[in-house]
Structures are given as structure tokens and as C-alpha cells.
Structure 1
């Protein structure tokens, strides 16, 4: 019973989750203009750090044992956990950026994917943009499902259904999944991005989840690079990663890592988010 209770937060705790979510969103928004050809991933990481610290928070990624960066930046065949450094972005690169902030002991976690413009290779850019769009839309399909779900596993069903309906034949990473979020960046329950037989815990007020589909253009098989962090596709095909932290409360759901609570994107699904009182 103790583990089960820990999944659900009090109204006051949900309110405390709002600011770290907004700080995380601000960091990702601040770095967007810097994701251009010629920029290094370290320069992009520095913008996120300055934004988070400037808001009185700290990077929760830097609190992970053995990791000293504010973001994970994954390029092309790298899907997640790429380490920022001296890599210079090239025209046409598909870049996934994962970021989080901890504020007064509470956490936010979010990820975006950006395709660097390349007018000389419109077909490549279009293919990569399509991968990003399908991944992002599958995230919103999962969030929308949460609004009426009875069990957490219904999220993965919605994510997989959306990806399959794209007709692109994309793969979904199986070894990397979403999670609960709160006092720690990674808490229970596990949030699968695909259908599972065990639908898991009940969805009810107090549940906070980080939903994060990781989708690849080809086969879902991955490997961990020699840096012991970066996860890349075995077949060298592109990957995309989108993520939001979402709270379930008495009034409905609220996307903590979107300033509008997800209103613009959820409107496409007929879902109206309700601000946490």
C-alpha cells in the first residue's frame, strides 16, 4: 500500500509541480533559436543551464550520478541520452533535446525535436520533419488519452495507435519508456509507449507522469555508444524524442511543461486542460 500511495500527490504537491514545469519549458524555448547549422551541442546546453539557474532552479540532469550536463542532445541516429559537447550541427540534422529542472525539491522533464534547415536537401528535411511530427503527435495522443483513461497503460495504446496510423512503418523503442515524476525526476509508474497486457496503476487525481515516445525511422533495435550514455539505432536510421510532464487533478489534466497547459495541442483531440487550483 505504501508504494501505491506514493504514486498520487496531494493538491498542494501538484501546485508545487507547476513552477519546475514552466522553468523546464522556458529552457527549451530559450535554446530553440540556437539549434542551427554551425552551433555546437555544448553551446545549446549552456543556454538551457543559464535559463534554469536564472529562474532560481537547478538542472535535475546534473543530479543524476555521473552526468554533468543540463540536457541530453541526440543527433540523427542517436535517439536519446546524447551528451552535449563539441559536435557541430550540420544542415539537415534532426536534433532531439531532453531537459529538466528541479525547483524547491520538485521536478519538470520535457523533450523536443528540431530539424535544422537545409534548402539543398528538401527530401531529407521533409522525411525527418515527418518523423518528428508523428512522434510529437503521438505524444499528444497519449496525453489526450490520459484525460479519460482508467489505467496508465491506455496511454501506450494511444501512442502506438497513432504511430501505426501514420502508415510510415516507424519503430517504437521498447527498452526506454516514460515514468512518474515528482520529488525525483524518475519515479513510478512506468509509462509504456506501446500496448501492454498489464494496464498498470489507476489513473486518478494526484498522478504526475512524464510521457515520452521515442520513435525511429527504421528498426527499433538500439545500442549504447562507447560513452555509456548515448542510445543509437543499430541500423543507423533517424530517431525522434518528444516529452511532456502531465498532472492529473480533481478538475482534469494539466501539461506542466507547456505554458498553456497543453490547450493548443489538446484542442485537436477535443480535450480542454484545466489549470491546477
Structure 2
């Protein structure tokens, strides 16, 4: 933690003197650090203006996912969904963050059945009765990012698929209860992994949640497997995603060598994911995008 004079302007951008703004907050962080906790750097803690920016981006992100939910049905292509996301994001004043991100060619990620994440929309991939689909939307609005995904069943899906989607969603909601100020990231991973494994499914280990807000992917990395009381301290102002990827079979995954993006379950089993963008506050977690 870097030092600021008591009468200097606070690092949070409030315009107040440090002594009357975040001095006691930083002293509390230092106390936790002395006790052996991993504490976040100031850049991981969003200012009030940044929080409001992410909140507004989240409103648009939610609206886009609502539109997707209305559209999902057998017979449409994943490219149709991409077009809907792209055109409506622009219409609402946002920018689809995935487009051209590190070479990604589309405006949304659409992952079907055994695709764990980063599925690329394709006009030739037509949704079929019984498919389960994850649609992952990230919106930039006035320079701020919000990120969320939802699962959809296409028509009538199998009981196994329904249960997989339900248990995955339950794990995110259980993790949300652990996203409390002065708790730990390990509490979140523990809540998810305990629920998933108790229900006979597995959690993908290689891919986790991430800080988000002024960039697409920020610190901290959020594991969906953890031990309570470990990993980084959660403090008010942190914003990150909780987005477990849960497999019906084994946890192992493989990447498509041809497109360099699509991640599949190694054993061909079904996979599901839900994602929230979450703000840590003293009063409890606030979901900014879901």
C-alpha cells in the first residue's frame, strides 16, 4: 500500500482530504495485511464514479440478455443471436466488448451443449430442440464494462440438462451470499465447489471469474474452487465476476485447435455456466449485471 499525506486529496477521487475519507479504511487494510491476509491494491477498488459507470453498463447488458431470452428457440442460428446482440448494443449506446478482443471475431460468445465457453457464432449452427445454450454478453458503455451470461434451454431439454443448469445457477446464488465485505475470495470458491460436487457435477478449474469495470479482464482472478478464509480479502468497492463453468462429466477441458477460442469438455459431457458482475459493499453484494 502506498502512503498518502493526511491532508492530501484522497486516492479515491472524492475530492476530500485523505484523513476524512479513506485513511481509516486503509488502516483497516494494513491491519489485515499484518495478520497475514492478502489485501487488494487501490487500483482494484473502484471509485464512486467508476461504480456508477459499471452500473449503467450493467443496465444495458441486462437488457441485451432479456432480448436474447425472448429470441431463443429451435431453428435460429447462433449468428442470428450475434446480430441481435450487436445491433441492440449499438442502439442502446454501448459497444459489444468481445468484438475484435484479442482477435475474437464476433460480438457475443455462444456455447452449446459440450462447449464450456467462448463458442463463436456461426450462421450454420442452428439451435435444435434439446440444446442447452450459454450466451455471454459483455457491454462497454462510456468506457465502463459489465459482463454476464445466462443459460437457456431450447424447447424441451433432458432432465439431466435441466438439473445441470439449475445446480449451476444455485451455486452462483450461494456464492453471492459469501461475497461479503471483509470475507475472502476463497469463501466464494468453497460455496460453489461444495454445492457442485455434492450434486455429482464438476467445476472447471482452469477458467475463473475476474475483476471487471474499467477493462474487460482485471485483477483479481476468481477461482470457483476454494477454501474458506483464504485468498484475497474482499473489500468495499471491488467489482468482479462470479461465473462457474460446471460439467456433467469430468472437469477436464480442451481447446479447439482450429479457431483457437472454443473450449469443450474433454469427455463430451454437457457444460453449463451462469455469470454475474458483483460489487462488494459494506451492506452486502450488489449484482450489477446478471
Structure 1 length-normalised TM: 0.86
For the 8 Å contact 1:181–1:187, the answer to whether it is kept is yes
2:274 maps to what in 1?
Answer: 242
Instruction: Tell me the distance in 1 between the aligned counterparts of 2:41 and 2:168.
Output: 30
Pairing partner for 1:113 from 151, 158, 164 = 151
Pairing partner for 1:75 from 100, 108, 112 = 112
How big is each residue's C-alpha offset from its partner over 1:220-275, in whole Å with a ceiling of 9 and x where there is no partner?
A: 111111211110011110000110001113433210014xxxxxxxxxxxxxxxxx
Q: Which moved more, 1:65-74 or 1:172-181?
A: 65-74
1:173 aligns with 2:204: yes
Q: Secondary structure at the match of 1:112?
A: strand
Pairing partner for 1:188 from 216, 219, 222 = 219
Q: Secondary structure at the match of 1:249?
A: coil
For the 8 Å contact 2:181–2:236, the answer to whether it is kept is no
Following superposition, the deviation at residue 68 of structure 1 comes to: 2.6
Pairing partner for 1:161 from 173, 176, 194 = 194
Following superposition, the deviation at residue 117 of structure 1 comes to: 1.4
- Structure 2 segments unaligned to the other structure (5+ residues): 3-39
Following superposition, the deviation at residue 147 of structure 1 comes to: 2.7
How big is each residue's C-alpha offset from its partner over 1:130-172, in whole Å with a ceiling of 9 and x where there is no partner?
A: 101111110111111103651112110111122123x3x1111
For the 8 Å contact 2:185–2:234, the answer to whether it is kept is yes
Q: What is the alpha-carbon root mean square deviation over aligned residues? A: 1.7
For the 8 Å contact 1:149–1:155, the answer to whether it is kept is no
1:64 aligns with 2:105: no
Instruction: Tell me the distance in 2 between the aligned counterparts of 1:208 and 1:63.
Output: 24
Q: In structure 2, do the counterparts of structure 1 residues 149 and 242 end up closer, same or farther at CA, with 3 Å as the change threshold?
A: farther
1:95 aligns with 2:133: yes
For the 8 Å contact 2:184–2:228, the answer to whether it is kept is no
For the 8 Å contact 1:117–1:125, the answer to whether it is kept is no
2:85 maps to what in 1?
Answer: 48
How many equivalent pairs are there? 251
Q: Secondary structure at the match of 1:209?
A: strand
Instruction: Tell me the distance in 2 between the aligned counterparts of 1:151 and 1:251.
Output: 16
2:262 maps to what in 1?
Answer: 230
Q: How does 1:249-268 map to 2 (within 5 A)?
A: 249-258=281-290
How big is each residue's C-alpha offset from its partner over 1:16-73, in whole Å with a ceiling of 9 and x where there is no partner?
A: 2101111111111101122211110000111111221111110111151201311100
How big is each residue's C-alpha offset from its partner over 1:79-133, in whole Å with a ceiling of 9 and x where there is no partner?
A: 1000001200111001111111001111000011111113xxxxx5221111011
1:127 aligns with 2:164: no
For the 8 Å contact 1:132–1:241, the answer to whether it is kept is yes
1:11 maps to what in 2?
Answer: 48
Q: In structure 2, do the counterparts of structure 1 residues 28 and 160 end up closer, same or farther at CA, with 3 Å as the change threshold?
A: same
Q: Runs (4+) of structure 1 moved beyond 4 Å?
A: none
- Structure 1 segments unaligned to the other structure (5+ residues): 119-123, 259-277
